[in-house]
Every structure is written in structure tokens, then in C-alpha cells.
């Protein structure tokens, strides 16, 4: 218990003194996960609209498949990315293995099913009259899609934040394709894992607190958004 208490005090010290290593790891984590989310959002917004507004055979099966991938194990995505980008893999010549760029690619792939599924759900739950009204007033499919996304913006933003939450908290993929290289690919989760195994509880706790603070911030933003959405619906 004493060790834990000491750990907490040391952790707070590391945070309030802006310890360079802790800050570097934190900003690297935020940078990688934000970039991954941005890429996933840019892909999922048009793709989600396309799937929602197009009627095709197997659409329900595809949506079910996307929803199944919500809880895709991070190590499985890590393994897939590893096979694709390792020296012997089809993208091996890009030399991206153990780089932040590959961690971004991996995290994008990891959060895409969740983001895509939630964007489709947001559009499904939107009153069908919105798209119909747009079409009946001369909107193209693209314009109607854009309007629908705008009308469902709170749910869409929620899906992006949920995706970010999944990206920042994953460890398996980052470890497999990032390699946890100090000062280069080490992020919050991989650092916590390593420092704990080395017995540096203080640093692990400090990084854990930061991760917890990020989760708290995500939750606060989410509940604020839900409040805004409810008041807008009134």
C-alpha cells in the first residue's frame, strides 16, 4: 500500500513538473491517435453515407459484419498490419515497420469498423424525411448525404470520439507494429506496459493518470454533446 501511495505522489510530481519524457510520450500518443481518427473519419463519413443511401444486395449482412468488427481484438489487427507491412509482406518495400506512420495506419484500421457502424446508425436513426425533403427540393445524392450528416452531427461527432477512445487506449497493435521504441514509437499504453514490467511503478502510474484524464475528457465531451443533442431535439 505504501508503495502505491508513494507511486501516486511521484506520479503527480511528474505530471505537475511537466516531466519531458512523460510529456513527449503523451503528445506522441495524442498525435498518433488523433491522426488515425482523422484518417478514419475522412474515409468513414463518405463511406457510411454511401452505404446508407445505396440499396444493394447484402447490405444488411455488410452492416452486421461491420458491427461484428466493433470488438475486433487489437492484436489481430496488429497481426494483419504486421503481415502486410513486414519485409516479406506486400507493402514491405515501404519500410514502415516500427514507425509512427504504421501505428497510425493500424489504429485507423482498428477504429474504422466502430466509426463506420456508428455513422451508419446515426444516419439510420435520423428522420427519413430529412433525406426525402432534400431529394424533393432538388438535392443531388452528395448534397442530401452532406445535409443528413450535418443534421446527425452530434451522433457523428460521438462516433468519432468513440473511435478516438478506442485508438488511444489500445496496446496490442501499437506494441506489435510500433515496437515501443523509446523517443520514437513509445506511447502511453506501451510505456505503461513496459515500465510496469521493469518495476517503475511511479512512471507507470503517472502515465496511467494521464490516460485516465484523457478518458475523462472524452466522457465529459460525450455527455456535453448528448446534452446539446437533447436540447436541440426539444
Partner 1 sequence: MLHVEATHLVKKAGEAVLLKGVSLRINKGESFLLIGPTGAGKTTLLRLLGLLNSSFKGELSIFGVDVISNQGKQLEIRRKMAFVQQKPVAFSCSVFDNVAYPLKWRKIPREEITDRVGEVLDLVGMKEYSNRNAKTLSGGETQRVAIARALVTRPEILLLDEPTANLDPNSAGRIEEVLTKVVQEHKTTLIMSTHDLVQAQRLAEVVGVMIDGKLVQTGTPQEVFHAPQNSQIARFIGFKLAEQDFNRIV
Q: Taking CB under 8 A as the rule, does residue 151 contact partner 1?
A: yes
Grid coordinates representing 38 are 482523422
Q: Taking CB under 8 A as the rule, does residue 157 contact partner 1?
A: no
- The window from 114-122, 133-141, 179-187, 218-226 that contacts partner 1 (CB under 8 A) reads 133-141
Shortest separation between residue 154's beta carbon and partner 1, angstroms: 10
Size of the chain in residues: 234
Build a one-symbol-per-residue string for 213-232: x at contacts with partner 1 by CB under 8 A, - elsewhere. -------------------x
Cα-based torsion angle of the residue sequence 186, 187, 193, 196 in order, rounded to the nearest 10 degrees: 80
Q: What is the DSSP letter of 192?
A: H
Q: What is the DSSP letter of 176?
A: I
Grid coordinates representing 75 are 492484436
Specify whether the CB–CB gap between 206 and 19 falls below 8 A.
yes
Which residue is listed with cell 494521464? 210
Shortest separation between residue 117's beta carbon and partner 1, angstroms: 23
User: For residue 73, what are the CA distances in angstroms to 111, 154, 234?
Assistant: 11, 27, 39
Specify whether the CB–CB gap between 225 and 154 falls below 8 A.
yes
CA atoms of 210 and 188, how far apart (whole Å): 8
Q: Which of 24, 63, 139, 222 binds partner 1 (CB under 8 A)?
A: 139
Build a one-symbol-per-residue string for 50-89: x at contacts with partner 1 by CB under 8 A, - elsewhere. ----------------------------------------
- The window from 13-21, 87-95, 127-135, 217-225 that contacts partner 1 (CB under 8 A) reads 127-135
Q: Which of 71, 125, 129, 197 binds partner 1 (CB under 8 A)?
A: 129
Q: Taking CB under 8 A as the rule, does residue 150 contact partner 1?
A: yes
Residues near partner 1, by CB under 8 A: 127, 129-130, 132-140, 143, 147, 150-151, 232
Amino acid at each position: 500500500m505504501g508503495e502505491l501511495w508513494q507511486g501516486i505522489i511521484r506520479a503527480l510530481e511528474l505530471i505537475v513538473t511537466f516531466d519531458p519524457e512523460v510529456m513527449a510520450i503523451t503528445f506522441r500518443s495524442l498525435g498518433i491517435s488523433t491522426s488515425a481518427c482523422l484518417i478514419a473519419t475522412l474515409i468513414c463519413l463518405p463511406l457510411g453515407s454511401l452505404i446508407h443511401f445505396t440499396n444493394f444486395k447484402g447490405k444488411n449482412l455488410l452492416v452486421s459484419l461491420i458491427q461484428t468488427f466493433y470488438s475486433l481484438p487489437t492484436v489481430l489487427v496488429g497481426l494483419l498490419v504486421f503481415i502486410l507491412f513486414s519485409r516479406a509482406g506486400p507493402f514491405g518495400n515501404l519500410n514502415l515497420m516500427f514507425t509512427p506512420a504504421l501505428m497510425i495506419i493500424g489504429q485507423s484500421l482498428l477504429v474504422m469498423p466502430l466509426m463506420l457502424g456508428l455513422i451508419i446508425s446515426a444516419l439510420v436513426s435520423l428522420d427519413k424525411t430529412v433525406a426525402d425533403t432534400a431529394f424533393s427540393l432538388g438535392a443531388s445524392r452528395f448534397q442530401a448525404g452532406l445535409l443528413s450528416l450535418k443534421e446527425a452531427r452530434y451522433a457523428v461527432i460521438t462516433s468519432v470520439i468513440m473511435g478516438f477512445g478506442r485508438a488511444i487506449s489500445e496496446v496490442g497493435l501499437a506494441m506489435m507494429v510500433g515496437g515501443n521504441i523509446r523517443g520514437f514509437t513509445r506511447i502511453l499504453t506501451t510505456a505503461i506496459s513496459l515500465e510496469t514490467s521493469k518495476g517503475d511503478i511511479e512512471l507507470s502510474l503517472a502515465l496511467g493518470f494521464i490516460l485516465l484524464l484523457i478518458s475523462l475528457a472524452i466522457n465529459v465531451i460525450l455527455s456535453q454533446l448528448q446534452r446539446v443533442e437533447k436540447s436541440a431535439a426539444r
